[in-house]
Amino acid sequence: MNRRIAVLVFPGTNSEGETLRLLRDLGADAQLVHWSRPQELAAYGAYVLPGGFAYEDRIRAGAIAAHDHLMDAVIDGCAKGKLVLGICNGAQILLEAGLVPGTAAARRPTAAFTHNAPQPHFICRHVYVKLASAPMRSAITASLDEGALIPAWAAHAQGRLAAGPEHLAELVEGAHVAFVYAHPDGRVDEQAVPNGSALGCAGLVNREGNVLALMPHPERDAWNVNHLQRRVGEALFAPSGGAVLFESFVRAVQRA
């Protein structure tokens, strides 16, 4: 049983530090694996693709990284049932690699996270994402409560889900929309969506449920020190808030 987690680092990745620390704080055996060492990935049981600007987001965010040799191992691992979590740029890479929603062959994407709307500007704001599928739809979300509300930071210029009408219908019918944007009280409507994302989508899961792509960063609101309101006596660096998603992921890896 392989419980080791690889945090992938592409040229331009910039969120690997907090991602690695959070995984370790939650008890995971996690290591960084750089783009120069793709041959090492086969020895890991799960993968996390963190945020950043891989290959400077040239062509499209995630488009070049999706063809990096690191992704050869991730695609192979996905086919073998390994768990894969992508955050922000990592989510974009997973869509460009066709692993999510995974309704076509690898590297044949049927959806993308593309330029924000109505203005194609970079946004940086605190958001909430709500679990929109049954927790057991994905092993990665299996430890979450029904309709779990998770705090995170949206920090992207290309976070809007876009797909053709037939593929959007496919996403709905196949329960691929794992998370939607929500208000702090859990309400879901268009006003909660910061980037014009189709279906209000913040995260997608593949058919088999072993790959999850989430646009906002829960790891940036994942310790008590990150929260504006803290109770007296709480340990500043205790995991909380957005850590709940990573905790569910770590539990899934440990159960695998």
Catalytically active residues are: 88, 217, 219
Q: From start to end of 64-221, where are the E strands?
A: 83-87, 112-114, 123-131, 149-156, 160-162, 177-182, 201-205, 211-214
State how far the Cα of 234 lies from the Cα of 129, in Å rounded to an integer: 24
Residues forming a β-bridge with 41:
none
Q: Are the C-beta atoms of 52 and 89 separated by less than 8 Å? A: yes
Residues forming a β-bridge with 49:
86
DSSP 35: T
CA dihedral for 132, 57, 21, 221, sign (positive or negative): negative
Torsion of CA 102, 104, 107, 112, to 10 degrees: -60
Q: How many CB atoms lie within 10 A of CB 145?
A: 11
